[in-house]
Amino acid sequence: MGLTRGTILTIDVPEGQIPTITTYFEMTDRPVVKRQDGPLKLLKWNVPEPSEYLSLFRAVGNRWMWTSRLLMDENALRNTLHHDAVEVYLIEKDDAKIGLLELDFREQKQCEIGFFGIVPDMNGQGYGRWLMAEALNRAWRPEISRVWLHTCTEDSPRAIPFYMKSGFTPYKREVEINSDPRLVGHLPLDAGPHVPIIRPSNA
């Protein structure tokens, strides 16, 4: 739907649903990224079992209402995680699993940073910069000409400035309206506390 300059489009969001604005970012030139020392370890997770993977996915993503992997059939999830062109990494601190990273090379000459995160109580300690350096050094290979990722309005408000500071350029936005995953049982009711729940009046 096109809008003329100065026009405001207002849409009422049905009760029990959530509007999400997704912003896509890309990087088309390999940056100079120095590896950083720190207390974290990044370990290749070669054949993650869906149940173990989803446990960590929830620990990292419930705060930000990550749902996409939760909606996948178990076989489809296993096929994705075990695909030769998908790399899954564990982030450990003192032998505890505190985060994950996924690099998806299934599209020719491109790498999507599919999931990138650390458990919320580890945020604010500079670990994101370390993880981005590790991600970019693994994503940029001789055959890769583009690295991309996306974030949405349920994510941390620091995500967009962080990605731009890391060298990514925004190139597209999408708006979706979906059922609130907390009200349909995909996430606990205390997930995403920064996004208020509006229950249907007849619930």
Give domain limits for the chain: 18-179
CA distances from 111 to 24, 33, 121, 156, 181 (A): 13, 17, 28, 23, 28
Fold of domain 18-179: Aminopeptidase (3.40.630)
- pLDDT tier for residue 3 given thresholds of 50, 70 and 90: low
- pLDDT tier for residue 2 given thresholds of 50, 70 and 90: low
Residues 6+ apart with CB under 8 A from 12: none
| Dist CA 164 CA 27 (whole Å) | 10
> How many other C-beta atoms can be found within 10 angstroms of the C-beta atom of residue 77?
20
> How many other C-beta atoms can be found within 10 angstroms of the C-beta atom of residue 173?
11
Q: Among 131, 123, 134, 108, which residue's Cα sits nearest to residue 156?
A: 123
| Dist CA 91 CA 164 (whole Å) | 23
Please report the beta strands in the chain, taking only residues with DSSP state E, as ranges in sequence order. 17-27, 40-44, 86-93, 96-104, 110-118, 146-152, 169-179
Kindly tell me if the per-residue pLDDT of 103 is higher than 60. yes
pLDDT at 62: 94
pLDDT at 201: 85
At residue 91, what are phi and psi to the nearest 5 degrees? -110, 125
pLDDT digits (tens, 9 = 90+) for 150-165: 999 999 889 999 999 9
pTM: 0.91
pLDDT at 4: 66
Edge-to-edge strand list for the sheet holding 86-93:
40-44, 86-93, 96-104, 110-118, 146-152, 17-27, 169-179
What residue type is 7 in one-letter code? T
Query: At how many degrees (to 10) do helices 50-61 and 74-81 cross?
Result: 90
